Amino acid sequence: MSANIHVRTSDKKAGSVPVVKVDQPLTLVIFGGTGDLTRRKLLPGLLALFDRGMLPEQFAIVGFGRRDYDTDSYRALMAGEVRAYSRVVVSDARYETFMQHISYFKGDLDNMDSFVGLYEQFKDVEAFPASKVFYLSTAPSYFGSIISSLRKAGLVNRPEAGKPSSRVVIEKPFGHDLQSAYDLNQKVLRLLDESQVYRIDHYLGKETVQNIISFRFANAIFEPVFNSRYVDHIQVTASETVGMESGRGAYYDKAGGLRDMMQNHLLQLLCLVTMEPPSGLAADAIRNEKVKVLQSVRPPSPEDVEQNVIRAQYAAGTVDGEPIVAYVNEDRVPAGTRTETFVAAKLFVENWRWAGVPMYLRTGKRMKNKATSISIQFKVPPLKFFRTLQCDDDICDFSASEPNVLTFWISPNEGISLSFSAKRPSMQLVVENAKMDFQYDETWDVDLPEAYETLLMDIMRGDSTLFTRSDEVEAAWRIVDPILDHWRDRPEIPLHLYEPGTWGPLAAKELMHEGAAWVNEE
């Protein structure tokens, strides 16, 4: 049993988030202009920024696509969706003004003439401001060739003092293994300076994720206990209730949960919660510390993979009375596929701070709840005193006392909670678990920005702190590659099945060391 104590930092602080603004005129070209990400995240995110007055007076958004639209029909295509997916409600007039900044460029990614044509359009400085961002939201196989065509066409140059420099944003996945990520990095960095490259991991744009750094390093009381002396283990969970949304099966089946979520999002969360204090808040100072964590993770040996990594796939079942098809029967998924939709791993960060502390990571589709959280479970306090407590004729019960757990709730219900043992109000000495609970929406009266809004703002303002550097991406693949290799070489390694609407297979529970269990399974 546990009691909740709600922590209010003060009375709810009414919401004006300081407004930052992109101050340079800017053009944003989106390759993949008719794609899902553009419709669901990028344009709705830009609309929200526009509505808040954060975009410059002079900005142009160009959707680049192969399909046969012109600007009018492209705007019409986007019309309903952009508004539907945006978290802000804007008036018709305001929405119209926003749409006036959008145009369409019909082009072919394989044809250099399209890039030359784009360059020609950019000569019209009235319509296209000089500072440019190219957003690569296409199939990953195009990333290298688009950048090379942008360079050849003169649309992107290396930075020069005094001139606005162009930036290139690269969506995930960045490579499908270490070698392909390395090759792509080599190609990109032959053509561009690292400072111009923004590799997206949208988890880094989530408000609570950013708060991990402030929480750890702007408070004196937590950091001294963030180490192997006090911490028993750390858990990172990203569970989803969705399965394969329409058309996603084809991509997902080639990726699987390990590549899709763990290589990027989960390892990034692990970095933020375990890294050393950075020397400053500049992008590279933070990224230097994150890369050190990744380099300190012991790449799993074949034995580690067998003992410490669990893969599983959802079977057919029923959730809330609705029938759910098995992953193998999802649309655009090959029959008999052995791609994992769930993965759990026990990793070790072998440095002075964390040696010997298990780091448990898990992610899956079709699980019980949609929840992303990081929990730091502390060691059990020495109980000698309690064991020898003489209680004679009274009740003294410490059996419900549990270890302290500090949880960062990344989504939904963003917040931070700390569980602790407390004496239950009574004449007897009975200890139970209680919880201090901080919720963003109870403390601040503001809407949290969507991750893509934050990231788009940072790209436009030239701040790369929340984007992954080339060495980080490679260091993350160094951890994941041995797992992929071993699964490929030893297909007999079990692929567990789990019921949809659950927390995954039993094997994931058994991965935990004695005395530990996945928390927050509500």
Residues noted as catalytic: 265
The Cα 111–Cα 89 span in angstroms is 39
Interface with ligand BG6 includes 260 (CB under 6 A)? yes
Nearest residue to ligand BG6, scored by beta-carbon proximity: 260
- Residue closer to ligand BG6 (CB basis): 22 or 324: 324
Residue 206 CB, shortest distance to ligand BG6, in Å, is: 7
The Cα 238–Cα 338 span in angstroms is 21
DSSP SS3 for 128 = coil
Q: How far is CA 88 from CA 14, 63, 198, in A?
A: 18, 22, 26
- Residue closer to ligand BG6 (CB basis): 21 or 176: 176
* Rg of the chain on CA atoms, in Å: 25
Interface with ligand BG6 includes 471 (CB under 6 A)? no
Residue 372 CB, shortest distance to ligand BG6, in Å, is: 6
Interface mask toward ligand BG6 for 149-188; x: CB under 6 A: -----------------------x----------------
- Residue closer to ligand BG6 (CB basis): 103 or 211: 211
Q: How long a stretch of residues is the chain? A: 522
Residue 100 has which token pair?
A: 């006036």
User: 470-489 and 283-296 helices cross at what angle (nearest 10)?
Assistant: 20
Distance of CA 481 to the CA centre of its chain: 20
Task: Using CB under 6 A, count the residues that bind ligand BG6.
Answer: 4
- Residue closer to ligand BG6 (CB basis): 172 or 287: 172
Interface with ligand BG6 includes 211 (CB under 6 A)? no
DSSP per-residue string spanning 215-263: HHHS-TTTGGG-STTTEEEEEEEEE-S----TTTHHHHHHHHHIIIIII
- Residue closer to ligand BG6 (CB basis): 196 or 372: 372
Interface with ligand BG6 includes 372 (CB under 6 A)? yes
Interface with ligand BG6 includes 208 (CB under 6 A)? no
Residue 411 CB, shortest distance to ligand BG6, in Å, is: 6
Q: Which of 143, 152, 141 is nearest to 118 (CA)?
A: 152
- Work out which of 177, 240, 471, 521 binds ligand BG6, going by CB under 6 A: 240
Interface with ligand BG6 includes 397 (CB under 6 A)? no
Q: Say if residue 10 is exposed, middle or buried (CB neighbours under 10 Å; 0-12, 13-18, 19+).
A: exposed
Q: Which of 363, 371, 374 is nearest to 262 (CA)?
A: 363
| Sequence-ordered list of residues with C-beta below 8 angstroms from that of 211, at least 6 positions apart, any chain | 408, 416
Residue 81 CB, shortest distance to ligand BG6, in Å, is: 18
The Cα 214–Cα 470 span in angstroms is 25
Interface with ligand BG6 includes 36 (CB under 6 A)? no
Q: Is the peptide bond before 412 cis (omega within 30 degrees of 0)?
A: yes
- Residue closer to ligand BG6 (CB basis): 38 or 419: 38
Residue 271 CB, shortest distance to ligand BG6, in Å, is: 17
User: 267-274 and 470-489 helices cross at what angle (nearest 10)?
Assistant: 130
Residue 410 CB, shortest distance to ligand BG6, in Å, is: 8
Interface with ligand BG6 includes 417 (CB under 6 A)? no
- Residue closer to ligand BG6 (CB basis): 262 or 475: 262
Interface with ligand BG6 includes 207 (CB under 6 A)? no
Residue 249 CB, shortest distance to ligand BG6, in Å, is: 11
List residues binding ligand BG6 (CB under 6 A).
172, 240, 260, 372
